[in-house]
Amino acid sequence: MSLPKLFLVTSLVLAAHAGAQTLPAPSTSGTMVIVPANGEVRHANDQATVTFAVEEFDKDKAAAAARVNRKMKEGTDIVRRADPKAELKTQGYYTYPVYPEPPVQPLPASRTPVKPVPSGWRVGQYLEVKTTNLAELPKTAAAAQKVLQINGIQFGLAPATEKMLDDQRIAATYRNLNERIVSIARAMGRQPGDAVLDTVDFEGTGNYGGERSDKVMMMRAAAPAAESASEPSFEPGETTLQMHLVGKVKFK
């Protein structure tokens, strides 16, 4: 092999060897890292909000209202006796006329339309019952159903339980932040002790506890209350509380 060719081959081998060498990692000193973290806690629901309702129809508005008032008082007394510690609140009293279906026949252009006359009146009211006595709730509901109807039920957490879980949720989220900082430091070839926590934002994405609705649906056609109702079955379920935070970490 001639000298020029030998020199060319040697140069190519050296160049390939130099290219195969690992480049030095960039310095991470002073690097600011944004670290998101999440926390989640769960707990069985220990509070129920039951909405009872009563509705009456009568040609006489006063008669319908009188029956509603009597049944609401009777139902309220039943609930108070069955669950003395429950929080009760009456709400949503309504009265509206009911008109008969108009006959389908065209009127002469010169004839003045007749004002419709109500065929009766529909009157109703709601009773909101908030209780933590879930063990006796089926019995309480069955007793109240003698005069009232169940219009809706929501399960959730009592305020004391929610406060306790909020403390746990914050601790779980902050613990996750520390775990992620350790993982990021190792991935960067740094020691976890080199990371300095600069900022922690617990308001990362707003409200993470979920929305609660106190909206009550109005009944339009309530069935008459049964003289004796069997106990309804309830499954309270559980509530999951979540939190998201963002931390800013600076490496020395």
Q: At what angle do helices 137-144 and 61-82 cross, to 10 degrees?
A: 150
- pLDDT confidence of residue 212: 39
CA–CA separation, 221 and 12 (whole Å) = 91
Under CATH, to which class is 28-46+157-223+237-252 assigned?
alpha beta
pTM greater than 0.75 (yes/no):
no
- pLDDT confidence of residue 104: 63
CA–CA separation, 215 and 43 (whole Å) = 24
Topology annotation, domain 47-98+117-156: Alpha-Beta Plaits (3.30.70)
Domains 28-46+157-223+237-252 and 47-98+117-156 share a fold: no
Spans of the chain below 70 pLDDT:
1-25, 103-113, 204-229
Backbone angles phi, psi at 181, to 5 degrees: -65, -40
Residues 46-87 pLDDT 10s: 999 999 999 999 999 999 999 999 999 999 999 999 999 999
Residue ranges per structural domain of the chain: 28-46+157-223+237-252, 47-98+117-156
Residues 165-194 pLDDT 10s: 999 999 999 999 999 999 998 988 888 888
> Residue 186 has which token pair?
């190792």
